[in-house]
Amino acid sequence: MRLGLFGGTFNPIHIGHLRAAEEVRESLSLDKIIFVPSYMPPHKDLADNVDGKRRLDMVRLAVKSNTNFEVSSFEVDSGGNSYSILTIEHIRETCGCTPYFILGQDAFNEVSLWYRSKTLFDATHFAVMSRPDVERYSLEKVIGKDAARFQKTPRGFTNELGNEIVFVEVTAYAVSSSQIRKLVKQGRSIRYLVSREVHDYIRDERIYI
C-alpha cells in the first residue's frame, strides 16, 4: 500500500487542500491520501478556537466523495499538542507501510525545528509541495549535516533506508483558510472556495462568525 499522509489544522479545509492532495496522489501513484486534522498544532496558534471535532467533521465532509481519500482522527482523539512523528509512527504500525508525509515547501524549510526531527527521515518519505512563491532551500540548509545521508535523484533525494524526499509541483490556488475565515466574518460568500458540504456546515454551525 502506498499512502500519503496530509496533516494540518484544516481551519477550514478548502479546494486548495483537496486539489493539492489529488495532484500529489496522482504524481506519486499513491493508493490513498489520509487527511489528519491536528488537535493542537505546536508551532502555530489555532485561529478562532475551532475545536478538533468540528474541523474533523469538515474534513470528513470534504473528502467523502473521493474513494482515494480517507480521514484519520488520531490527533484529535489523542488530544494535546499534535506531533507529526507520533502520527507517522501510528500510521506505520497500523498500515504496515512507510507513508509519504505531504507538506508545503515553507513547512519543509523549517522541519529541523520539529519535535524529534532527527527521527523523521528514518520513519517516512517526504512529499514536498513546491510553490513558485516559496524558496526551495538546499538540503544542507534545511537539515544540516544529516544531508550527507542523502543522494540526489531525478525527483529529489533518497537516503540509505530508501526513504525519499520528493518535490511535487502543485497548482497554486489563491485561496487560504485565513481568507475564508475573514470572508465569513464579513458576511461574504465562500462558495466555490470550499466544498458545498463544508460551506453548508460552516453556515449551519455558525463557525467563524
What is the torsion angle, in degrees rounded to the nearest 10, for the CA atoms of residue 117, residue 88, residue 134 and residue 30?
140
Residue 188 placed within a domain: no
> Is residue 180 one of the residues assigned to a domain?
no
Taking residue 104's Cβ as centre, other Cβ atoms within 10 Å add up to 15
Q: Which residue has the cell 525545528?
A: 113
Q: Is residue 80 part of a domain?
A: yes
Residue matched to cell numbers 497554486: 172
Strand partners, 168: 129
Residue 51 lies in a domain: yes
Chain center to CA of 50: 18
User: How does pLDDT run across 73-132, given as a tens digit for each residue?
Assistant: 999 999 988 999 999 999 999 999 999 999 999 999 999 999 999 999 999 999 999 877
Residue 43 has a pLDDT of 58
Number of domains in the chain: 1
Compute CA 188 distance to the chain's CA centroid, rounded to the nearest angstrom. Answer: 27
Work out the average pLDDT over 179-206: 97
Q: Which domain CATH number covers 164?
A: 3.40.50.620
Is residue 71 one of the residues assigned to a domain? yes
Residue 208 in any domain: the answer is no
Which pLDDT score is estimated for 93?
A: 97
The answer for residues whose C-beta is within 8 angstroms of residue 27's C-beta and 6 or more apart is 168
Q: Compute the distance between CA of residue 155 and CA of residue 194 in angstroms, rounded to an integer.
A: 31
Residue 193 falls within a domain, yes or no? no
What is the extent of the structural domain holding 95?
A: 3-173
Whether 18 is covered by a domain: the verdict is yes
Kindly state the average pLDDT of the residues 177-192: 97
pTM of the model: 0.94
Q: Is residue 190 over pLDDT 70?
A: yes
- 21-31 pLDDT, tens per residue? 999 999 999 99
Per-residue pLDDT tens digits for 23-70: 999 999 999 999 999 997 665 666 677 999 999 999 999 999 999 999
DSSP string, the chain: --EEEEEE--TT--HHHHHHHHHHHHHTT-SEEEEEE-SB-TTS--GGG--HHHHHHHHHHHHTT-TTEEE--HHHHH-SB--HHHHHHHHHHHH-S--EEEEEHHHHTTGGGSTTHHHHHHH-EEEEEE-TTS----HHHHHGGGGGG-EEETTEEE-TT--EEEEEE----S--HHHHHHHHHTT---BTTB-HHHHHHHHHHTTT-
Task: Write down the pLDDT at residue 24.
Answer: 98
